Structure 1
Amino acid sequence: MTEDRNFRSHYYEKVGFRGVEEKKSLQILLKDDPLDDQKLAVFCQRFPVPVMYRQLVWKVLLGILPVHQSVHQFVWNQRTQQCNDLQRSLKVMNIINDETSEAEVIFKMFLLQEGLLPLEDENLHDIEDSIISLDVATATCDMTEDFDDAYWLAFRIYQLREKHADLLETMPSSFISYLTKEDPVLYEHLEALKCVKRLPYQKWFQSLFSSVFPVSTVERIWDRFIGGSCKFLVFVAIAIFLTYKMQLINTKKQQDLLKFLEKLPCDHCDVILMKASELWEKYGCTKAELL
């Protein structure tokens, strides 16, 4: 049976229908009531989620919607009402208006809901990671057509990021460890330019790459993150450096190298994700994070 599946998978990829079987598997999972969130999480870690199902899968895994599909509409009505109440409160307090960007509205709604909203608007940027949080909100706005969807996805992703705060803090050291193993020559070059401590990977990790890649690529990274693989972010960073190794090696000034990394070209996103997946599997994270 396994050999038959492998043959069919290979055939589908050859004729341009890569992921056909995975899509069918997800469709089967989504027929269950209640949904099996553990199986959905495993799917997210192993395969890109088809666009037409992504929001539903994310909402279930993020706890926006319950696993019982029979009550989805009722719960979503409550979520929508809560969203409306938050917006109305901010307008009454003159904290937002019709000119406020959607991303900023989402961030302020999150702060209000969490009891963290400063009384003075000028103090908003004193909040740690405010710019990064706005990047996340901007990404969810770009991913969705409905504001309520954008808000609840951003809100839960903020919470998930906080849940993994300790792990996110250790990622720079994990990055250095893995890069040293994968390409010691590249690492030595970064050390020679005294770049290692100034690399933008901390911003990359905290923003979940929302400020780095096009939204279509960010969605595929978030599939893994929302599915439970926080460590996948480290391998995305490693893959960036391996993909652009020649440009980095040929850059002889620290300032030029950092400038290149601050605004990466968007022409190798698929290659980067493929390399990140290979590294994730190579270092055993497949088994460790799916347990």
Structure 2
Amino acid sequence: MTTDERNFRSSYYEKVGCFSVEEKKSLDKLLQDDIRNPAKLKHFVYTFTVPAQQRSLLWSLIMGIMPLHKSNTKYVREQRSQVYEDLLRAVTVMRSVDVDKSRHLVLYKMWLLENNRLLHSNVRAESQPDDNHFIEIARTLLEIFDDEMETYWIAKGFYQYTRELKKECGKLKELTQVLLKREDNALFYGLEKLALFDVNSKLLDDWYTTCFAGVICETVLVKIWDKVCGGAKKIVVFLFIELMKDIKSFICDLRSQEELKVLVEMIKDQDGVIVNKAIKSWHSNNSEVEYVH
């Protein structure tokens, strides 16, 4: 079966809530092994559609949150849970955040405390430029996963992935320009007019570094994040290009990056059309696996 046929089949199965027999058997086998193979797990999320009910386990194994040795899973989960409960109890006692509201801020304060950046309730933690990246990632993941303990650990793991993306932003922006010039020169110059690709411009860097957290609807954005967990750095470029194509007719009237930001954040893509186009385009243009760690 060709790659295009497989991808079309996978997309169709996903829309109706089913997965192919071959993919399901393959994933079940990977997860049932006494010692799970991280390279094979990465390859699966990189190549196939990830079932929602197994996403947290897959990500946790790939990120090293859960052990590859199946027999150690219960013990390690208990340890992770204990750390989570200790941090939650601490920020509650310190009254550093209202634990009944803004759960993403609760996870953020716990993260600050774990990194020795939150001293006590009447001392403001020193804010760092990338703190908002963690907040947006946590906010997105809380909409994807039900278990808040797992979400906290996955947020930390995914945030570390984005640190690698941050290092690659220069190259990713260069690739963006190359692809835009090749596919739609007018669109490229419209964005260049807004100085989007300038060295000092941070808008595209922020989108790439957070993998569009808070921009795209979480339930469809997670398919992009699957690929990032599998090692696909470049997929954020293809998502950006598809977003720009979707609003192409409006770009010539924009006068600032702030106007572009507002316009992009209105898209959401709740039906996943843009995300699916981005994945298809990425598959068509990508021939080798690149792991981010």
TM-score band w.r.t. shorter chain: 0.7 to 0.9
Of stretches 185-194 and 231-240 in structure 1, the one that deviates more from structure 2 is 185-194
Question: Which residue of structure 2 aligns with residue 225 of structure 1?
Answer: 228
User: How does 1:145-164 map onto structure 2 within 5 Å?
Assistant: 145-164=146-165
Contact map agreement 1:235 1:277 (CA 8 A) in 2: yes
Find the aligned partners of 1:267 and 1:158 in 2 and give their Cα distance.
23
| Aligned-partner SS, 2:216 | coil
Question: Which residue of structure 2 aligns with residue 20 of structure 1?
Answer: 20
| Aligned-partner SS, 2:50 | coil
User: How does 1:89-168 map onto structure 2 within 5 Å?
Assistant: 89-99=90-100, 101-117=102-118, 123-124=124-125, 126-168=127-169
Q: State which of 187, 212, 217 in structure 2 corresponds to 1:214.
A: 217
Question: Which residue of structure 2 aligns with residue 272 of structure 1?
Answer: 274
- The gaps in structure 2 that reach 5 residues or longer are none
Code of the aligned partner of 1:143: I
Per the TM alignment, residue 224 of structure 1 is displaced from its structure 2 partner at its CA by 0.6
Question: Which residue of structure 2 aligns with residue 242 of structure 1?
Answer: 245
Q: 1:35 to 1:184 in 2, by over 3 A?
A: same
Per the TM alignment, residue 167 of structure 1 is displaced from its structure 2 partner at its CA by 1.3
TM-score, structure 1 as length reference: 0.84
Q: 1:13 to 1:235 in 2, by over 3 A?
A: closer
Q: 1:11 to 1:216 in 2, by over 3 A?
A: closer
How big is each residue's C-alpha offset from its partner over 1:92-140, in whole Å with a ceiling of 9 and x where there is no partner? 4332343452211211212222223366767447321222221111112
Find the aligned partners of 1:48 and 1:74 in 2 and give their Cα distance.
29
How big is each residue's C-alpha offset from its partner over 1:58-96, in whole Å with a ceiling of 9 and x where there is no partner? 110011101111211111001000111112222343323
RMSD: 3.1
Of stretches 43-52 and 99-108 in structure 1, the one that deviates more from structure 2 is 99-108
How big is each residue's C-alpha offset from its partner over 1:160-207, in whole Å with a ceiling of 9 and x where there is no partner? 222443113543333223222221111122234555545832221122
Looking at secondary structure, tell me which structure has more helix per residue. 1
Find the aligned partners of 1:77 and 1:205 in 2 and give their Cα distance.
34
- The gaps in structure 1 that reach 5 residues or longer are none
How big is each residue's C-alpha offset from its partner over 1:244-282, in whole Å with a ceiling of 9 and x where there is no partner? 323334x35447852543423234752322332233233
Contact map agreement 1:232 1:276 (CA 8 A) in 2: yes
* 2:58 is aligned with 1:64: no
Contact map agreement 2:194 2:255 (CA 8 A) in 1: yes
Greater than 6 Å deviation, 4+ residue runs: none
Code of the aligned partner of 1:279: S
Question: Which residue of structure 2 aligns with residue 281 of structure 1?
Answer: 283
Of stretches 15-24 and 83-92 in structure 1, the one that deviates more from structure 2 is 15-24
Aligned length: 285
Per the TM alignment, residue 237 of structure 1 is displaced from its structure 2 partner at its CA by 0.9
Of stretches 64-73 and 270-279 in structure 1, the one that deviates more from structure 2 is 270-279
Of stretches 198-207 and 83-92 in structure 1, the one that deviates more from structure 2 is 198-207
User: How does 1:250-265 map onto structure 2 within 5 Å?
Assistant: 251=253, 253-254=255-256, 257-265=259-267
Q: 1:121 to 1:278 in 2, by over 3 A?
A: farther
Contact map agreement 2:269 2:275 (CA 8 A) in 1: no
Code of the aligned partner of 1:107: Y
Find the aligned partners of 2:232 and 2:127 in 1 and give their Cα distance.
30
- Between the aligned residues of both structures, percent identity stands at 27
Find the aligned partners of 2:242 and 2:10 in 1 and give their Cα distance.
28
Of stretches 227-236 and 161-170 in structure 1, the one that deviates more from structure 2 is 161-170
